[in-house]
Amino acid sequence: MISFSPTEEQQMIVTMVKQFASDEMRKIYRECDETGEIPDNVIDTAWKMGLTSSSIPEDYGGSGGEHSAITGSLINEELAWGDLSMTMHIICPALFAYPVLEMGTETQKKKYLPLFCAEKYKAATAALIEPRFDFDPYSLSTVAQPDGNQYVLNGDKCYVPLAADADVFLFYARENGNSQGFIIEKGTKGLEIGEREKNMGIRALATYEISLKNCRIPKENRLGGEKGCDFNHIMNHSRVALSAMATGVAKAAFEYSRDYAKERVAFGEPVASRQTIAFMLAEMAIEIDATRLMTWEAAWKLDRKEDATKEASLVKAYADDMVIMVTDRAVQILGGHGYVREHPVELWLRNGRGFVTFDGMAIV
Amino acid sequence: MIDFELTPEQQAGIKAAHEAAKELFRPVSRYYDEQEHESPQELIDNIWKRRNEGLFDLGMDAVAAFRIEELCWGDAGLFLCIPGPGLGGAAIFSSGTREQMERFLGSFNEGEPKWGAMAMTEPGCGSDTAAISATAVHDGNEWVLNGEKIFVTWGKRAAENPGGLVVVWATVDKSAGRAGMKSFVVPAGTPGMRVEKLEKKLGIKASDTATVTFDNCRIPFENILGSPEVKKVDKSQTKGFKGAMATFDATRPIVAAMAIGVGRAALDFVKETLENEGVKIRYGVPKQKLTALERDVIEMEANYKAAKLLTLRALWMMSQLQPNSLESSMAKAKAGLAVTKITQKAVEIMGPLGYSRKYLLEKWMRDAKINDIFEGTGQINMLVTARRILNYSRDQLK
């Protein structure tokens, strides 16, 4: 039956995450963006909410909840409303954990999943994006070559979140023309982590370039073993996660510019009482809602284990355009004030611009 | 639980609506576009015979959106010829008493085909419905109506076919502004109500859009919808006007669903034509690798989906008895514009095939446009949306 109402449990989680986003993230996000650092205690507080471990089965140390893309979408929107850098940091371990949970071999699950059920935050990450303009997740330059009972990996990756702190990495590489996942542990020879990257937005999130130079790993480190992984399915989970986050960032920018427009007086009236501003806000609100509903529909398909490629890629393309439209307008509505760093809208515009680039940097 | 699943019965109903649209509407779609004002009698008789199948009911829940989409995928103009209480019925449902619903709509399904219409627009007022100049004067146990209404969808069928009705908006006290605005049910054939002319239109030509005049038209006192009292003192007591607005909350998502049907007809045509020519639309490919054509089609599809989900939400909220003014206006604003753009883009993409009257695509572009105009233009719906999100009154945001 068609319904747009989250379950009671989902509503409780949303309330909790929303509280965290406004009490913790919103207090420090500007400072984090300026310094490029996120305080450990915020990450620890977020970790205690168990957002990742809750969907890991009890056998591997988790709390055995259902792994739901709809719940994940609801959470990601609220977190990203708080701050995108922190969101990506907080859920970064899921980049590794969820593909292993969904598609890993029993050995892989037993070995790695308990890491994410520990009391302290454990960085783990995934590397997909490559530093070239025509980057295509389905046609990677990074190559995995079988050699006896090993794989040899070569190639360059970028935008790898938390690479310097991560103990385990999931690398996506081309094997026989297909994109597949490969688990590489910290310290493996040939895994060279470069300098921290300097980006236009998500400045508080530490991302790195990584080079793989004849990096040898055992054959059993291929995600899913001989069966491999359904890479497209992972991409769909990423598209949904990013669409939900884009909705959250856009919602933050919409709310701020709406409130500003009601306060700011020009020609004797709040600027919001002019249709030229009011209609911008109306369109922003409509497009944010539309994106959220499309995200839910794609997530719903994922949860039913159906092929969601069409829905997920449609909503991702829509969300990419929507978030830049909304955040740009938020800056525009604030005028000169939108351009200065005293207000947050310029930060959201910089973060919003990135979504079209962030493929594979989040997962739901 | 957030859910998009349709039950097997719902799916069957939607499929049946699709088949009906394909069998009944599509074959005569072009004919009634070219023969404006000719009534599709055979089609109406056919539909009337099948009226108890549930295919042609408007309905007020999310599933209705799917059914309406399918029917308008067939033909939006012919959809507007389907017998039923229509917008008049929606007005009675949203502001009438139980007794009135029974009296006016109780036997709507019996005997010969009947239509209901709503007459609000006047030559001097469109979306500014509170400026209505038609009058209703209380005289004994009757109301006397005077005025001219234009753009009355279903106007001729509703006013002239026995058993039909027209819901007319008129003021009982001009000095009271919105508070004086009331709606009245005028049964078909009431002396003094006359159909003056039928409009010649850009699209939905099969639908009759009439000018209806009221010249000392007398109706029983109990045909007023809502309270006859005018409360001038308290400005918030603008119930009559609110009745009109409540009707829009119900009808706007229905128009949005109609729009979506026309949009999908165009999208399907584009995709089928491309497929037959061996052109594949790829999903999940990075944007920079897509062809310009793929980008266009993907954008059209995404906008179709956005409009549809907003519409489903607005109707779902109504079925849950949740206030949905904001969501209805959002859906209508989005769907009207999205479908205008989708159909125009489709004509562009299809080139000579799009512009030719040999195919229906050019018709769908003309038909689509009405959805961005009637039941409140896109701009009015943006205004309603803006006022709601800003929590502004009419005076604060003009």
User: pLDDT tens digit string along A315-328?
Assistant: 999 999 999 999 99
User: pLDDT by residue (tens digit) across B135-164?
Assistant: 999 999 999 999 999 999 999 999 999 999
Q: How far apart are CA B53 and CA B42, in angstroms?
A: 18
Q: Which residue from A minimizes the CA distance to B386? A: A282
A355 neighbors A315 (Cβ within 8 angstroms): no
The CA dihedral of B221, B375, B63, B84, to the nearest 10 degrees, is: 40
Q: What number is the average pLDDT over the span A88-99?
A: 96
Write phi, then psi, for B205 (nearest 5 degrees): -70, -25
Q: Which structural domain range is residue B189 located in?
A: 87-234
User: pLDDT by residue (tens digit) across A222-237?
Assistant: 999 999 999 999 999 9
Q: What number is the average pLDDT over the span B181-204?
A: 96
Residue B130: per-residue pLDDT: 74
Residue B234: per-residue pLDDT: 52
* pTM (global) more than 0.90: yes
Mark yes or no for CB contact A294/B334 under 8 Å: no
Asked whether residue B280 is assigned to any structural domain, the reply reads yes
Pick one of 2.40.110.10, 2.60.40.10, 1.10.260.40, 1.10.579.10 as the CATH number of A124-227: 2.40.110.10
Residue B248: per-residue pLDDT: 84
Residue B243: per-residue pLDDT: 67
Report the share of chain A in percent with pLDDT over 70: 100
Asked whether residue B1 is assigned to any structural domain, the reply reads no
Q: What number is the average pLDDT over the span B277-281?
A: 96
Looking at the structure, do residues B277 and B226 belong to the same domain, yes or no?
A: no
pLDDT at residue B237 tops 70: no
Looking at the structure, do residues B229 and B247 belong to the same domain, yes or no?
A: no
Asked whether residue B166 is assigned to any structural domain, the reply reads yes
Mark yes or no for CB contact B317/A4 under 8 Å: yes
Mark yes or no for CB contact B333/A290 under 8 Å: no
pLDDT at residue A49 tops 70: yes
Q: Which positions of B are catalytic?
A: 375
Q: What number is the average pLDDT over the span B193-198?
A: 96
CATH number of the domain at B21, please: 1.10.540.10
In this complex, which of A2, A7, A235 lies closest to B62 when CB atoms are compared? A2
pLDDT at residue B229 tops 90: no
Question: What length does chain B have?
Answer: 398
Q: Looking at CA atoms only, how far is residue B313 from chain A in angstroms? A: 7
- Average of per-residue pLDDT values in chain A: 97
Residue B54: per-residue pLDDT: 80
Q: Is A2 in CB contact (< 8 Å) with chain B?
A: yes
Q: What class, spelled out in words, does domain A231-356 have in CATH?
A: mainly alpha
Beta-carbon contacts of residue B276 (< 8 Å; ≥ 6 apart):
none
Mark yes or no for CB contact A273/B398 under 8 Å: yes
Looking at the structure, do residues B92 and B228 belong to the same domain, yes or no?
A: yes
pLDDT at residue B232 tops 80: no
Confidence of residue B12 (pLDDT cuts 50, 70, 90): very high
Asked whether residue B313 is assigned to any structural domain, the reply reads yes
Confidence of residue B231 (pLDDT cuts 50, 70, 90): low
> What residue spans define the domains of chain A?
8-117, 124-227, 231-356
Beta-carbon contacts of residue A136 (< 8 Å; ≥ 6 apart):
B285, B286, B289
Looking at the structure, do residues B142 and B22 belong to the same domain, yes or no?
A: no
Task: Give the residue from B60, B83, B106 where a domain finishes.
Answer: B83
User: pLDDT by residue (tens digit) across B54-98?
Assistant: 888 777 789 999 999 999 999 999 999 999 998 899 889 888 999
Q: How far apart are CA B189 and CA B168, in angstroms?
A: 14
Looking at the structure, do residues B155 and B116 belong to the same domain, yes or no?
A: yes
CATH number, span A8-117: 1.10.540.10
| Chain A residue numbers touching B379 (CB-CB < 8 A) | 279
Q: What number is the average pLDDT over the span B194-222?
A: 96
pLDDT at residue B246 tops 80: no
- B312: amino acid identity, one letter: L
How much is the ipTM here?
A: 0.94
- A60: amino acid identity, one letter: Y
Beta bridge pairs of residue B198: B210
Q: Helices B62-74 and B239-276: crossing angle, nearest 10°?
A: 50
Task: Give the residue from B83, B113, B148 where a domain finishes.
Answer: B83
Q: Looking at CA atoms only, how far is residue A71 from chain B in angstroms? A: 10
Q: Is A178 in CB contact (< 8 Å) with chain B?
A: no
Write phi, then psi, for A15 (nearest 5 degrees): -60, -45
User: pLDDT by residue (tens digit) across A329-343?
Assistant: 999 999 999 999 999
User: pLDDT by residue (tens digit) across B29-48?
Assistant: 999 999 999 999 999 999 99
Looking at the structure, do residues B283 and B383 belong to the same domain, yes or no?
A: yes
Window 305-334 of A, Cβ < 8 Å to B: 309-315, 317-318, 320
| Chain B residue numbers touching A236 (CB-CB < 8 A) | 284
Residue A151: CA count within 13 A, CB half-sphere: 28
CA distances from A38 to A30, A75, A125 (A): 11, 20, 17
Mark yes or no for CB contact B309/A290 under 8 Å: yes
Q: How far apart are CA B3 and CA A4, in angstroms?
A: 7
Mark yes or no for CB contact B397/A137 under 8 Å: no
Neighbours of A211 (CB within 10 A): 15
User: pLDDT by residue (tens digit) across A173-201?
Assistant: 999 999 999 999 999 999 999 999 999 99
B3 neighbors A3 (Cβ within 8 angstroms): yes
Mark yes or no for CB contact B284/A356 under 8 Å: no
Window 223-242 of A, Cβ < 8 Å to B: 232, 235-236
Question: Coil, strand or helix: which one is A299?
Answer: helix
In this complex, which of B4, B313, B396 lies closest to A273 when CB atoms are compared? B396
Mark yes or no for CB contact B389/A235 under 8 Å: no
Looking at the structure, do residues B188 and B311 belong to the same domain, yes or no?
A: no
Site from B2, B7, B339, B382 to mutate, A interface, most A CB atoms within 10 angstroms: B2
Asked whether residue B3 is assigned to any structural domain, the reply reads no
pLDDT at residue B247 tops 90: no
Q: How many domains does chain B have?
A: 3
Task: Give the residue from B205, B234, B263 where a domain finishes.
Answer: B234
Looking at the structure, do residues B128 and B170 belong to the same domain, yes or no?
A: yes
Q: Looking at CA atoms only, how far is residue B292 from chain A in angstroms? A: 14
Tokens found for residue B76: 């939006």
B364 neighbors B266 (Cβ within 8 angstroms): yes
Confidence of residue B178 (pLDDT cuts 50, 70, 90): confident
Which element (helix H / strand E) includes B225? strand B224-225
Q: How far apart are CA A335 and CA A88, in angstroms?
A: 29
Residue A277: per-residue pLDDT: 98
A268 neighbors A100 (Cβ within 8 angstroms): no
Looking at the structure, do residues B96 and B47 belong to the same domain, yes or no?
A: no
| Angle CA B192–B197–B203, to nearest 5 | 140
CATH number of the domain at B348, please: 1.20.140.10
Looking at the structure, do residues B275 and B378 belong to the same domain, yes or no?
A: yes
Q: Is A339 in CB contact (< 8 Å) with chain B?
A: no
Question: What length does chain A have?
Answer: 364
